[in-house]
Structure 1
Amino acid sequence: MSFSIEGKTAIVTGAANGVGLAIARHFVDQGANVMFADMDEERLSHECGEIAEEDGNIRYFAGDLRERLTLANLLSATIDAFDRVDILVNGSRQVLPSVPLDLDDTTLEALMMQNVTNTFRLSQMVAKRMIKQAADREEGQAGAIVNLSSIAARRTQPELLSFSVSMAALDQLTRSLAVSLAEHRIRVNSVALGSVMSASLRDALKEHDGYREEIEGNTPLARIASPAELAEAVQFLASEGAGFVTGQIMTIDGGRTLLDPVGAPAH
């Protein structure tokens, strides 16, 4: 079975930087049609503007992905450009510190909306389109959805309480959608990231001296992964080569959760 995604059409959210951008670029390199989507219009335009004009299999969409209408417009723009959608990568996620005893802290609400509710809404919309596209086919994959989660879902980090809770909810959403959409031949999986050079981790390394050494010291492979390393795992889950894989949370953390000592850095 091939892991090829050539000729498939994918929407990748969070595609303006970091992991999402690496996945979207990798998909393009593998011959897929890709809609780069993000809320950061300036960065998205900078990353995709010129190549979108030169390459017919690249488009980009900027907007507030917390709004239902924006999500609907994203799907419509993808269909207008490529006629279909076969893969959804929900890579748009936010990491914010929490203050658990501060009654005015609204971090949990914000991260549940950004990391869970938005993922659910877009997945619903895209799944309906995938079902419609596959109506005349009785066999084969109708579509694949891949969510980007975190090992924080299984860890207890008070300073990342809200993020951890949102990631745990995202993992359960992945499993629930996998069961709900299985009859429609749509697979749903998640990649739980460990220490990957995301935009948020890059910022954290700048702010804290010795943070890199601390992370690497608590990771058996003794390094931080590059975003590009995640892209091939996402490709596998999106491809028909993973045709019997659904509802799974694939952990990519360099062995971090095998040790996970108390007091290790949150990323």
Structure 2
Amino acid sequence: MSYSIEGKTAIVTGAANGVGLAIARHFANRGANVMFADMDEGRLAKECGSREDGDPIRYFAGDLRERLTLANLLSATIDAFDRVDILVNGARQMMFTDPLDVEDDSLETLLGQNLMCAMRLSQIVAKRMIKQSDGDEDRPAGTIINLSSIASTHTQPQLLGYSISCAALDQMTRSMAVEMAPNRIRVNGVGFGSVMSAFLKDVLKEQPDYRKEIEAHTPMGRIAGPDALTEAVQFLASEASGFMTGQILTVDGGRTLLDPVAAPAH
């Protein structure tokens, strides 16, 4: 079975930096047409440069929490590439939560960013995938990959809101996988930890000793770069995983094999 995504069209959100950027670049290097999407237009322009009709890389900047922005993202992708075959929901936000602060609204913020954006974009992209498949039951209609975290199953009170949003995203992945399977759309996720996300990079600037704590609780003894996820996501996007749906693939250097509550779930 082929791992190839050559000639496919992918939307990758969160593509201005970190893990999302690594995946978008990887897809482009593997021959896919890629729409880099993010809120940060400056970073997108820097990464993608000026693009013209026919270029395999395009970018879209906007607030993906807005329904109209999501519709415009899909329209821009169809205008540029005529179709969409792969959606990677990589736009994620991470915040610390005070579990005892009744005024803390981080959970609401994180559910809006990490769950609702992914759900709404998945819904409109799935409808497009179904429409463009023209009822051809011999071909897959498309695949959706949600980037999640091992925080969804590992308890760290300071990441209460983030953990809940990731757990909700994992359940959304499973539910949508069942709902979309008859339409030949596969929905999977990648739960990662011990990977250098943009958020973790910022945290380590403020707390350098945090690196040693993460490494000590990771059997492979290191924090991986964002590129550690790219092959896993390509696998889920390709026909090599053609009989997989509703699965959360863990990429964490063995971190989830250990279970102390106080260990960082990054």
Structure 1 residues 120-151: Cα deviation after superposition (integer angstroms, max 9, x where no partner):
00000000000001124121210000000000
**CA shift for structure 1 position 155:** 1.1
Give the aligned residue type for 2:167: A
Give the aligned residue type for 2:39: M
Sequence identity percentage: 70
| 1:29 matched to 2:25 | no
Whole-Å separation in 2 of the counterparts to 1:222 and 1:37: 33
Give the aligned residue type for 2:156: Q
TM-score normalised according to structure 1 size: 0.97
**CA shift for structure 1 position 225:** 1.1
Tell me the residue number matched to 1:234.
233
| 1:119 matched to 2:118 | yes
Structure 1 residues 172-228: Cα deviation after superposition (integer angstroms, max 9, x where no partner):
000000000000000000000111111100011111131111111110100111111
Tell me the residue number matched to 1:140.
139
TM-score normalised according to structure 2 size: 0.98
Whole-Å separation in 2 of the counterparts to 1:235 and 1:146: 10
Tell me the residue number matched to 1:58.
57
**CA shift for structure 1 position 261:** 2.0
**Equivalent position SS for 1:219:** coil
Whole-Å separation in 1 of the counterparts to 2:65 and 2:99: 24
Tell me the residue number matched to 2:174.
175
Whole-Å separation in 1 of the counterparts to 2:197 and 2:53: 27
Whole-Å separation in 2 of the counterparts to 1:15 and 1:53: 19
Deviates more, 1:53-62 or 1:142-151: 53-62
Whole-Å separation in 2 of the counterparts to 1:106 and 1:45: 32
| 1:19 matched to 2:19 | yes
**Equivalent position SS for 1:36:** strand
**Equivalent position SS for 1:183:** helix
Tell me the residue number matched to 2:206.
207
Tell me the residue number matched to 1:5.
5
Tell me the residue number matched to 2:191.
192
Whole-Å separation in 2 of the counterparts to 1:265 and 1:147: 21
Whole-Å separation in 2 of the counterparts to 1:54 and 1:196: 35
| 1:151 matched to 2:150 | yes
Regions of 4+ moved over 3 Å? 52-55
Tell me the residue number matched to 1:161.
160
Whole-Å separation in 1 of the counterparts to 2:170 and 2:264: 21
**Equivalent position SS for 1:168:** helix
**CA shift for structure 1 position 47:** 1.1
Whole-Å separation in 1 of the counterparts to 2:121 and 2:242: 22
Give the aligned residue type for 2:27: F
Whole-Å separation in 2 of the counterparts to 1:18 and 1:260: 26
Whole-Å separation in 1 of the counterparts to 2:71 and 2:245: 25
Name the count of aligned residue pairs: 266
Retained in 1: the 8 A contact 2:156–2:263? no
**Equivalent position SS for 2:183:** coil
Question: Over aligned residues, Cα RMSD in angstroms?
Answer: 1.2
- The 3 A distance-change label for structure 1 pair 128 and 203 is same
Retained in 1: the 8 A contact 2:38–2:61? yes
Q: Where do 5+ consecutive residues of structure 1 fail to align? A: none
| 1:49 matched to 2:49 | yes
Deviates more, 1:213-222 or 1:179-188: 213-222
Whole-Å separation in 1 of the counterparts to 2:82 and 2:164: 37
